[in-house]
Amino acid sequence: MFFDGESVGRIPTSTTPTTLTITLPADLQPGTHGVVVARMATIAGELRRIAESNLFAFALTPAIAAMAGSGLTSSESGGVTVWAGNVVVTCDPAVGSDQRFELILNGMGDATRAYAFAAPRRTVALPSTSITVPIHDVPSGTYLARIRVDGVTSMLTGGGTTDYSGPTITF
């Protein structure tokens, strides 16, 4: 089995004529990935691919586990209270230091404003589940929050026949 071109030596947990179930590598980061299933055999003392599937592309969706404001300050702008500072997002799975990370805020109810803030490049080489995103000029209110990692956006909760209900953050 190959994830993103790298052999991971995984064996499917179950198979049927039309389905193959696998366990994703624990260190797989959110974003778009590709998997190829390969049949390997030793030929003349060398392990070789003798058959392989087409590439199957999939998106590993990030999720917000928790959020909190940090160093937030308010000011008045045109008679409206606006906030600036940082939002610390705890996410799952861990985000790589070279991955693009954005926090997306959508106003709830009559407040239909929307904002997207990119996290600065991280200097720590290891993947992290805690990402700090600077924000600015966000009016007071409650916002639906999503994160986008390398173009793959987290899911909102609720929906269906009602409005979305979370995750939210209030400034």
- pTM (2 d.p.): 0.86
Could you identify the residue written with the tokens 């705890």? Answer: 90
Average pLDDT by consecutive 10-residue portion of the chain (171 residues)? Answer: 83 84 89 90 90 94 97 94 97 95 91 91 88 96 96 89 86 93
Among 30, 25, 156, residue whose Cα is nearest residue 99 = 30
DSSP, res 141: S
Query: 39 with 23: CB under 8 angstroms?
Result: no
Give the residue range(s) of CATH 2.60.40 domains in the chain. Answer: 63-170
Q: How far apart are CA 126 and CA 36, in angstroms?
A: 26
What pLDDT, on a 0 to 100 scale, did the predictor assign at position 160? 65
How many C-beta atoms lie closer than 10 Å to residue 160's C-beta? 6
What pLDDT, on a 0 to 100 scale, did the predictor assign at position 162? 64
What pLDDT, on a 0 to 100 scale, did the predictor assign at position 11? 76
Report the run of H or E that residue 146 belongs to, with start and end.
strand 142-149
- The CATH number given to 63-170 is 2.60.40
Could you identify the residue written with the tokens 């992290």? Answer: 128
Query: 24 with 60: CB under 8 angstroms?
Result: yes
**Amino acid (one-letter) located at 48:** R
What pLDDT, on a 0 to 100 scale, did the predictor assign at position 148? 98
What pLDDT, on a 0 to 100 scale, did the predictor assign at position 161? 62
Among 62, 140, 127, residue whose Cα is nearest residue 97 = 127
